[in-house]
Structure formats: C-alpha cells, structure tokens
Structure 1
Amino acid sequence: MSSQEYRHIVRIVGNDIPGERKLLVGLTQIKGIGHNFATAIATTLKINTNSNIGHLTDANVQEIEKLITNPSEANFPSWFLNRQRDIETGKDLHLLTSDIPFTLRNDIERERITASWRGYRHLSGLKVRGQRTRTSGRKGGAVGVAKGGLAAPVKKASSGAPAAEAAPAAATADAPAPAAEAAPAEKKE
C-alpha cells in the first residue's frame, strides 16, 4: 500500500473509476482497454494487479495515463493496438473512449461514399464480412406470409332476416339446394 490515503474515485483518461475495484477490472472500464492491455500496463509499470485502484498514488495514475494515451513509447507491438495503419495518418494508433464510435462511423461513411461492396452491404443492413445470410441475420417479420386466422372471416347474423340473405349468397349457381331445406317442405304435405 502507498503512504497516500485511499481515494474512493480515481479519474483516469476522463473516466471515473471506483476506488474499491481491482486494478485490472478498473482499467477495463475505460472503453478501448481490455484485460490483456490492462495486464500489459500493470506489468510494464510494475504495479500489483491485485491492488485496489483507490490505493494508487498520483504518480502511478499519471504514468498509467501516459502509457494509455501513447502506448508506442512503451514499445508495445503494433498488433497490440486497436487501430493499425490508420487511413488518414498512416500511423499505428490506440483509440480510447468516444474516439472509437466516432472513427467507426467515419469508416462506414467513407465506405458508403466510395460505393464499395462493403458500403452497399452497410447501406442495406446486411452482413459485411462474408457471413452466410440464408438462415442467420434475419431482421424484422416474415414478408408475404399471413400468420394465423382465416383469409376472410365469416360474420354471424344475430336476426333471422340477415341469415336468410347470407345463405343464398354462400350457395353457388352450379350447386344444388341443400337437402335440409327440401326435407321440411315434404313433411308439410
């Protein structure tokens, strides 16, 4: 433990991290830093990974921020960074926090403007990286299929007169009259 007193909230790269979190878990709360990157930071700076973030000194926090913002100075390999060979600058970068979705939106928009195949797939909302689409990735409801019920439900009549009108409409010209109607007429004679 350090001689400095415990802090309940530590601010690293614009993120408030609770002091009771372990170092690795607390660093992974920063968007753009995963478990492996947090472990690499802790081993590079020789900080105990089981210590709580609240026990870090101001010097440790500044070293962590410096390493996070510029990992190439600590000789991290380029494959360890999350943005290699940036299209605009050509450098290997490591994006953090709100830069990640902003850059992602810019990349997708560039693909759309250049009318590349990936851009068309993004525009259509389809899979971009060659996955199958025959059975997976289906969005929305079924198209052209009626679910349940009848095509045209038959209305039941409450009084006698509309029921008599409904029966002749249901009979076709080619079909003979129902036998049930003819039988009562014979009994009357």
Structure 2
Amino acid sequence: MPRILGVDIPDNKPIRISLTYIYGVGPHHAKLILEEAGIDGQVRAHTLNEDQLAQLANLIENNYVVEGALRRQIGQNIQRLRDIRSYRGYRHRAGLPCRGQRTKTNARTRKGRKKTVAGKKSIKGAK
C-alpha cells in the first residue's frame, strides 16, 4: 500500500478514489489535485512511481489543511463556541444536533440509543 502524508491509501482502487482516504480530501479536491499534478484519475495507485506519489503529497501538504491539523482546527472551533457559551456550543456540549434539526423524533445519531422512560402509573377504577 502506498503512503501519502502518513496515510495508507488502497493500491487496487483508482487514485481519485484512493486520495479520498486522506481526512480532508473529498472527491472534488482529489480531482483538482490530480489535474494540477497531471495524473489521470483512473490510474491505479500501485502503478504510480515514487516521484508521482511525492508530487501528490507535496501538493496536498502545501495547498490543503488535512489530517491532524484539520482535526485540531475543527476541535478548536468547537471549543471556541463552547467557551463563548453560544447556542451551538451548548448543543455540542449536550450532544444534540447543532443545525436546527428536530429532536422530538429522529436525532438518534447525536443522542445515542433510545432511553426508555416508564409511563405514568394509572390507578385502576379511578375516573
């Protein structure tokens, strides 16, 4: 498996797909990177030589924020929202959706598994 910026990319997939295994590089950026490097996107990753891999790594490192630096930047942005006690910061702290979605139903990704709450006890015979 070839390594770019410390990330193992699959060698049996087209390079345009393999580049998306790098955190912060999606399909669109992968296409732009390959155009700038002059590499066909359909070429398999294992067919690239060391110079081409180094060229790709250099382009990504100089032009994009990826991997650890991007994760750190996102974490700092969320921490800033928490520190200034904004609504979005509160939602992050509480583990709830931040972008206006409904939470009466759905929102299970953020809230976790359903917690069953016991129903109200009824007294038999009372009206």
Give the TM-score normalised by structure 1: 0.55
Pick one of 69, 72, 88 that aligns with 1:102: 72
Separation in structure 1 between the aligned mates of residue 56 and residue 46 of structure 2, nearest angstrom: 14
Task: Name the counterpart of 2:15.
Answer: 23
Larger Rg: 1
Say whether 1:137 aligns with 2:86: no
1:14 Cα shift? Answer: 0.9
**Which 5+ residue runs of structure 1 have no aligned equivalent?**
1-8, 72-93, 152-189
- Cα distance between partner residues in 1 of 2:45 and 2:93: 43
Asked if residue 68 in structure 1 is aligned to residue 60 in structure 2, the reply is yes
Give 1:112 shift: 1.1
- Give the CA deviation at 1:143: 2.9
Give the drift of 1:68. Answer: 0.6
Within the alignment, does 1:120 sit opposite 2:90 as a pair?
yes
Higher relative contact order (CA 8 A, sep 6+): 2
Aligned length: 118
Q: Runs of 5+ in structure 2 lacking a partner?
A: 123-127
2:101–2:107: 8 Å Cα contact kept in structure 1?
Answer: no
Corresponding residue number in structure 2 for 1:40 = 32
Q: In the aligned structure 1, how far is the partner of 2:106 from the partner of 2:13? A: 39
Which amino acid is the alignment partner of residue 62 of structure 1? A
Identity %: 32
Aligned mates of 2:115, 2:12 — CA distance in 1:
46
Could you say which residue in structure 2 is the equivalent of 1:154? none
With over 3 angstroms needed to count, the CA separation of the structure-2 counterparts of 1:19 and 1:136, relative to structure 1, is closer
Higher helix share: 2
CA contact (8 A) 2:25 2:66 kept: yes
User: Aligned-pair RMSD on alpha carbons?
Assistant: 2.3
Give TM-score scaled by structure 2 length.
0.77
Which secondary structure state, in structure 1, belongs to the residue aligned with residue 104 of structure 2? coil
Q: Which amino acid aligns with 2:70?
A: I
